[in-house]
Amino acid sequence: MIKKLAIFGVGLIGGSLAKALRLAGVCETIVGCSRSEEHLKRAVELGVIDEYTLDPATAVGDADMVLLSVPLGAMRPLLEKIADHLAEGAVVTDAGSSKASVVAAAKLAFGEVPDFFVPGHPIAGREKSGVEAALADLFVDHKVILTPLPNTSPSAVERVTKMWEATGAKVQTLGVEQHDKVLAATSHLPHVVAYSLVETVSETDCVDQIFEYAAGGFRDSSRVASSDPVMWRDVCLENREAILDSITEFQANLGDLKSLIETSDADALLELFAHAKKVRDQHVTNS
């Protein structure tokens, strides 16, 4: 299905896609490209990619599919480096966690967003990064959201859809703005809150004891604060407005909850917790 796939950023997401496509036997050759030769050599040693280059233009020279799975802040410089070197008929896609910023980066790099560029985002991940953390089954039964634009070529969307489906993922499409709003609430806000929760605890004078006795609740709620700081800095900067809206709503809710505790309003507290439990139980399975 894919003759040569060029992956920029052979980390958790790029490495997992490479492993999954190998397992599915749908890709002839995979070339990796990033900044560190050591990381790329390791990816070859692990059998995740076939070959590597440090030169973006060389990486895309004869690739029929190109994936950008680098931190959001690195998307535009990379797109600028490959824009004039893509092979005829190549499809370009990305895995970035916010979409409006990547679309804007593509527009700046190419002059207009090309019809062969398919913005994408796999809704799968873990709080570990780098090629060593890559898993062949990371995307199985997970959603991948594509956010094609009105001018995006249907055949390019179809090729990217087939690529992700070969990993076991379920592909859906959303509008760019809708994606960024939904993901700000469901993924970006929880990460911001987890980082803030750990910071709050780390500023107390009994931090060691707190972590010593941190059982399920703190461990579960703070798990994603072990995620890559560079990635989350970039997500906050690149999906800024939607994340700020989510934080504002969260602050208002937390303020309401604080007032109920201050006034010892048992009935209202019970009602709030029961409502939140009902909503979560309705929507989140297997937990």
Site for ligand NAP, rule CB under 6 A: 8-14, 34-36, 39, 69-72, 74, 78, 95-97, 121-122, 125, 129-130, 228, 231, 235
**Amino acid residing at 240:** R
- Cβ 255 to ligand NAP shortest distance, Å: 30
- Cβ 91 to ligand NAP shortest distance, Å: 18
**Amino acid residing at 84:** D
Query: Rounded distance, CA 105 to CA 126, Å?
Result: 26
Which of the 8 DSSP states describes residue 15? H
Q: Which is nearer to ligand NAP, 98 or 152 (CB)?
A: 98
Q: Which residues contact 262 (CB under 8 A, 6 or more apart)?
A: none
Q: Which is nearer to ligand NAP, 38 or 205 (CB)?
A: 38
**Amino acid residing at 271:** E
Tokens of 197: 């929760």
- Cβ 204 to ligand NAP shortest distance, Å: 29
Please, are residues 23 and 48 in contact by the beta-carbon 8 Å criterion? no
Q: Which is nearer to ligand NAP, 36 or 172 (CB)?
A: 36
Q: Which is nearer to ligand NAP, 74 or 260 (CB)?
A: 74
**CA 254, 215, 285, 189 torsion: positive or negative?**
positive
Burial class of residue 81 in the structure, from the number of CB atoms within 10 Å of its CB (0-12 exposed, 13-18 middle, 19+ buried): middle
- Cβ 121 to ligand NAP shortest distance, Å: 6
Burial class of residue 47 in the structure, from the number of CB atoms within 10 Å of its CB (0-12 exposed, 13-18 middle, 19+ buried): exposed
- Cβ 32 to ligand NAP shortest distance, Å: 8
Query: Rounded distance, CA 7 to CA 206, Å?
Result: 45
Please, are residues 126 and 152 in contact by the beta-carbon 8 Å criterion? no
Q: Which is nearer to ligand NAP, 196 or 226 (CB)?
A: 226
Q: Which is nearer to ligand NAP, 71 or 119 (CB)?
A: 71
Query: Rounded distance, CA 32 to CA 11, Å?
Result: 10
- Cβ 270 to ligand NAP shortest distance, Å: 35
